[in-house]
A and B are shown apart, each in its own frame.
Chain A
Amino acid sequence: MNAIETHHLTRTFGERVAVDSLTLAIPEGTIFGFLGPNGAGKTTTVRMLASLIAPTSGSATVNGHEVGTDDEVIRQSVGILTETPGLYERLTALQNLVFFGQLYNLPAQRAAEQAERYLRLLDLWDRRADKVGSFSKGMRQKVAIARALLHEPKIVFLDEPTAGLDPEASRVVRDFIKSLKSEGRTIFLTTHNLPEADELCDLIAVFRTKLVRLDTPEKLRVGLFGRGAEVRVVGDAARWIETVKALPFVHNVTARESTLSIGLDDPDEQNPALIQALVYAGAQIRTVAPIAHSLEDVYLELVENGKSEGEQPAATQRSTPT
């Protein structure tokens, strides 16, 4: 079952189109990365899905509830970490959490128990009685994450959860997000941290007012750049270009200094023949490694160069994590 489905979801502000006909389906238990440049409409999308603002047209269901119709039920069933933590600085961490827990319809006692649970999980229990105003950015972010989870939502929207955090705190938050997935929750992650998205996400959507591409990180990479191998040889690699080109399964080959970059359909199957051909031709091979394209390469290709897999309708781009 899909946790979130949208059909031609659109939001305009006056003449400006913030979100244009977004159609996607996010299966339950997925970590969904929603990537795009600033001003792409990510926050507007999250606000629509969290029933904070209404769509101009199109429809969306969240946890099986219709956005615009069952807004209060949706707000009860999702948790949201906004771009800024948005905590009451004069109140303690515990007071903040108990307050929000009660607004999420938890009885006071239960809200306090849940606050304790998450403050302990996020290693903040010892600071529960301190005012949030005295907290570091990372600590505030943790409190805000705890707030998003107090009522045990099935879907959690996380907007830049590790922005501005030091590497250690970022690691804690990332591990925590993984643990949420293991509990079967669906995570809608908005981030500019592409290695983080690569590490965490089952599905990635690149979005710029419209959906540019939606797929698993691996399929995005292969779809854009294909697969291949990097072969480091002794001496100038350019000498072996013709040898490699002569192989029928090679798509393309480039050489830079002592490295050959070779496009292949199936490196696991084709690498032995490739290496054999090079050795037979006299090449001395130092290393063979798969060509590694980062999610950043994919993102920049899609967003900055506007490259996509044709103009296929977003509905046909639906995918299930593998």
Chain B
Amino acid sequence: MHKIMVILYKEWLEIRQQRMLIISMVLPPLIFALLPLVVVYGVAHTGSSGNLNLPRANNLSQLGHMSPAEVAQALVGMQLSVLFLLLPSIITSIVASYSVVGEKTSRTLEPLLATPTRTWELLVGKSLAALIPGVGVTWLSGLIFIIGMALLTSSQRVFFAIVSPGWLILFLVWSPLIGLISIAVMIAISSRVNDPRTAQQLSVWIIVPFFAVFFGQAAGIQVLGPVFTLIVAVILAALALLAVWVMTQIFQRETILTRWK
């Protein structure tokens, strides 16, 4: 545990020194928190909601008793709230790509592996260094989103339609799991490439499942109900375990030393 903390502390010292990395970590969460607030506020104050064609409203029981303006606000808010799924994946991928491939490019990996540090300690330290800021920033921006929604939605019914139990499960449980999967995939990819940008480009595929949820929600196929989100959380937990196992299999000290150039 001690060495994990040591690695974690070192990673944070390094992150603090990288302005571009910090901007990459802070900017998307700010946009993701503020964009829905602006749009929801706009929907409520432009008067355009009356002209919206909202066939989905008939399929969503929680919107049944709302006015057209409330329905418009709720639908837009619900749709944009799914964006928070992207954050843990984006941020952890950025941090992990620097922390793992960065060791390659700065040639610090050999001295690191020469210490009596176990592989799992190294991987846990690296993973936490990416996971904690990734999830932390996601939750912080989500908190801004929740507070903003509480202030800007036209009624409590709209607020609870957006910040629903299902969304809270997505936000609180899916986020760290998606972050963990992203890190594991990123470290696995990093074991095969030499450039942080290549690793990031390959890790883009991690966000594909997000689009399934986003467009499913948009098409009214799937509402983020608590049962659905819990089932997905269990599946994500299993995937996270699998991804971590694959990461430990791919991250072989010897392979890394003899193949990484």
Q: How far is the CB of B260 from chain A (nearest CB, A)?
A: 12
Residue from A80, A85, A91, A104 in contact with B10 in the complex, judged by beta carbons closer than 8 Å: A91
Interface-facing stretch out of A19-27, A32-40, A48-56, A264-272: A48-56
- Is there an interface contact between A86 and B116, defined as CB atoms closer than 8 Å? no
**Chain B contact surface mostly:** helix
CB of A100 within 8 Å of the partner chain = yes
Q: How far is the CB of B28 from chain A (nearest CB, A)?
A: 23
Residue from A76, A91, A144 in contact with B14 in the complex, judged by beta carbons closer than 8 Å: A91
Q: In the assembly, what is the distance between CA of A52 and CA of B253, in Å?
A: 7
A107 nearest CB neighbor, chain B only: B2
Q: How far is the CB of B203 from chain A (nearest CB, A)?
A: 23
CB of B258 within 8 Å of the partner chain = yes
B116 — which chain A residues lie within 8 A by C-beta? 72-73, 75-76, 103-105
B110 — which chain A residues lie within 8 A by C-beta? 52, 82, 86
B118 — which chain A residues lie within 8 A by C-beta? 72
A47 — which chain B residues lie within 8 A by C-beta? 257
B111 nearest CB neighbor, chain A only: A86
Q: How far is the CB of A182 from chain B (nearest CB, A)?
A: 25
B117 — which chain A residues lie within 8 A by C-beta? 103
- Is there an interface contact between A88 and B14, defined as CB atoms closer than 8 Å? yes
B253 — which chain A residues lie within 8 A by C-beta? 52-53
Write out, one digit per residue, whether chain B residues 169-188 have a CB within 8 A of any chain A CB (1) or not (0): 00000000000000000000
Q: In the assembly, what is the distance between CA of A99 and CA of B175, in Å?
A: 30
B61 — which chain A residues lie within 8 A by C-beta? none
CB of A13 within 8 Å of the partner chain = yes
Q: In the assembly, what is the distance between CA of A72 and CA of B6, in Å?
A: 18
A108 nearest CB neighbor, chain B only: B6
- Is there an interface contact between B114 and A88, defined as CB atoms closer than 8 Å? no
Say whether, besides A91-B10, A103-B6, A84 and B107 are in contact (CB < 8 Å).
yes
Say whether, besides A72-B118, A86-B108, A100-B115, A54 and B254 are in contact (CB < 8 Å).
yes
Say whether, besides A53-B254, A102-B3, A103-B3, A86 and B107 are in contact (CB < 8 Å).
yes
Q: In the assembly, what is the distance between CA of A89 and CA of B98, in Å?
A: 13
- Is there an interface contact between A104 and B115, defined as CB atoms closer than 8 Å? yes
A103 — which chain B residues lie within 8 A by C-beta? 3, 6-7, 112, 115-117
Interface size class of B (residues with CB under 8 A): 20 to 34
Residues 1-46 of B contacting A (Cβ, < 8 Å): 2-3, 6-7, 9-10, 13-14, 17-18
Q: In the assembly, what is the distance between CA of A130 and CA of B10, in Å?
A: 16
Q: In the assembly, what is the distance between CA of A299 and CA of B162, in Å?
A: 77
CB of A95 within 8 Å of the partner chain = yes
Residues 90-119 of A contacting B (Cβ, < 8 Å): 90-91, 95, 99-100, 102-105
Q: How far is the CB of A301 from chain B (nearest CB, A)?
A: 32
- Is there an interface contact between B13 and A50, defined as CB atoms closer than 8 Å? no
CB of B113 within 8 Å of the partner chain = yes
Interface centre among B3, B14, B111, B253, by most A CB within 10 Å?
B111
Residues 106-132 of B contacting A (Cβ, < 8 Å): 106-118
- Is there an interface contact between B13 and A52, defined as CB atoms closer than 8 Å? no
Residue from A13, A88, A104 in contact with B106 in the complex, judged by beta carbons closer than 8 Å: A88
Selected A-B contacts with CB under 8 Å, 12 pairs: A52-B114, A52-B253, A53-B254, A72-B118, A86-B108, A86-B112, A87-B106, A99-B9, A99-B10, A103-B112, A104-B116, A144-B111
CB-CB nearest 3 A-B residue pairs: A90-B17, A103-B115, A75-B116
